[in-house]
Amino acid sequence: MSTIKFTEDHEWISVEGDIATVGITDYAQGQLGDVVFVELPEVGREVAKGDEAAVVESVKAASEVYAPLGGEIVEVNDVLDGAPATVNEDAEGAGWFVKMKLSDPSELDNLMDEAAYKSFVAGLD
């Protein structure tokens, strides 16, 4: 079973064992509009919590995707190179950005669960 958490920067993270899948939330992709390009990091890169992990560009703006936790990038979603709109179509599924091996899984405790994130987003409108 996976654990899904959210950040105030609108990233989601799904953890199974010590591997985490990271993407942006449906709310974030809605705010960005049509995604036209995604820049992914290199596999093997170490990131600390809060580091830039990827860049997503839309017709409206370019935005950084931050690492919700520290770890090593072990896989990137190559589908996004040829089909960046996958982020719009399935932001919290097939539109994931990176998979990372977590360096400190206890950092998850500082992130929001789904209910807390929904409440956070509701306060933004």
CATH number, domain with residue 71 = 2.40.50.100
pLDDT in tens, 6-51: 999 999 999 998 899 999 999 999 999 999 999 999 999 999 999 9
Domain annotation covers residue 124: no
Which residues constitute the domain of residue 58?
3-104
Domain annotation covers residue 121: no
How many structural domains are present in the chain?
1
Residue 82 DSSP one-character state = H
Domain annotation covers residue 115: no
**In contact, 11 and 66? CB cutoff 8 Å:** yes
Domain annotation covers residue 37: yes
Strands (E), the chain: 3-6, 11-16, 19-24, 35-39, 46-47, 52-58, 62-66, 71-76, 98-102
CA distances from 34 to 53, 55, 62, 88, 102 (A): 20, 14, 11, 7, 30
Report pTM.
0.94
Domain annotation covers residue 119: no
Domain annotation covers residue 117: no
